[in-house]
Amino acid sequence: MSYDYIITGAGPAGCVLANRLSEDPEVRVLLLEAGGGDWNPLFHMPAGFAKMTKGVASWGWETVPQKHMKNRVLRYTQAKVIGGGSSINAQLYTRGNAVDYDLWASEDGCTGWDYRSVLPYFKRCEDNQRFADDYHSYGGPLGVSMPSAALPICDAYIRAGQELGIPYNHDFNGRQQAGVGFYQLTQRNKRRSSASMAYLAPIKDRRNLTVRMSAQVSRIVVEKGRAVGVEIANGSSTEIIRAEREVLVSSGAIGSPKLLLQSGIGPADHLKSVGVPVMHDLKGVGENMQDHLDLFVISECTGDHTYDNVAKLHRTLWAGLQYVLFRTGPVTSSLFETGGFWYADPDARSPDIQFHLGLGSGIEAGVARLKNAGVTLNSAYLHPRSRGTVRLASNDPAAAPLIDPNYWADPHDRKMSIEGLRVAREIMQQAALKPFVLAERLPGPDIVTEEQLFDYGCANAKTDHHPVGTCKMGTDDMAVVDLELKVRGIEGLRVCDSSVMPRVPSCNTNGPTIMVGEKGADIIRNREPLPAAIFTHERNDARPRARAEVR
């Protein structure tokens, strides 16, 4: 059987495409997902995120040794489940800064992708619990709500930021990004609002939409310069499914370049080196990888102020019972509900550091839990200059890709990351947190010099799981897709996911990826773009005070 559109990958953008394209009853849409269904209750419980980073529903990949971080190999969790990253992430709904998208248009050649042009697509997806203004809307597929289980230490953290000179911000996605405050979350009725639940569950009975899981695409079938279908690996055999109109690649910033390369679309020298026949020499595929690297402070608490002790069996059972019966208690927490955006570089055009307050000490994989209750403050540098790659290890589609974010290749990234860590440490030392925080345990009070902090970062840094850019959109020689997301030089083939972003937004990337899916669907359907946003009040990001004033 053939379909009009075949979508490879049911991540955030793939779910959006499947929904929007199948709105036309005359169009037959096939959505393929290599992973399984989101039947496990952990996918829907907000606190289930803590299990997800430890390997549930992921590919089990890791980076190549990072040569600028003493050859450290980092765990690199990438989702293998319907809904993709939106089914296993911490549910933070952030969009980045207006400057991010304006730079896409002004410096990366992506006309029509500036902030005023993409904001209507952010708004179209939203069903916002609280906000309805120039920046927000309600009635869309994606549930967006405020945290429902904030602990007293969250308010103390916000006061601590203000004591350091960082203003309170009630809406990081509104007029101003800079500040500290509560994140909005992709939740509805205290359940995760993944792309699968938001965009697929409501339309599961559409007769013109077919969703196949456990269907790993091994290559795109290209005939006479046109993508005509996909090949699916079924054990020792293969199956070819044909697309009458287009193949839409939405496998994420790692999976999408991997699939193009497996199909012979990419840098010819690399393809030849791993024994893949060259179908189309396109040198930008797998280049331009960007990601946010995270450094963190972990402090021991003066008492049971976070969720660490919920890990004890009797408390875990009670927390589960509370959630099932009453939709209350620790399980309703995403564990990262407060944070903020500020400046490591006083000359930055927009905030360049993001904070996440973690309500525990061993929440994510690879981070040790303290004996007593602890609290974590993550800091990530948002404007990395370093660029990495995604490459094939061999011509075997089942082989893990070579993921090289190339962290700290540019010394500026290292300097700003360490500066962000210093600000995070200062926040944790403010008077407002004294009743809650006993002492810093990591990096520890003896770690103070630049070299010591570098060593600490090399040993402990982790990814924020925000890879983008590996099939970048643009007009230069390294662009993989044009401004309509069409792969250059191949007919009937587009890429639509985080891999097309020319540079990483200053935020968690789930929200921006859903926006790309929304705008991409209109482009594919040849619809007029939504009218550009008109503001009642202009955005006004707070500038940092002089460093002497905030320290």
Q: How many CB atoms sit inside 10 A of residue 154's CB?
A: 22
CA distance 157 to 432: 7
Helical H runs in 329-449? 411-428
CA distance 373 to 360: 7
Tell me if 244 sits within 8 A of 226, measured CB to CB.
Answer: no
Q: What angle do CA 6, 515, 190 make, to 5 degrees?
A: 100
Judge whether 314 counts as a catalytic residue.
no
In Å, how far are 3, 31, 81, 328, 504 from 212, measured between CA atoms?
A: 13, 6, 12, 34, 30
Give 447's Cβ-side CA count (13 Å radius).
Answer: 17
CA distance 342 to 354: 7
CA distance 13 to 8: 10
CA distance 395 to 270: 11
Please pick, among 68, 305, 466, 537, the residue that the annotation labels catalytic.
466
Tell me if 51 sits within 8 A of 40, measured CB to CB.
Answer: no
Active site residues: 466
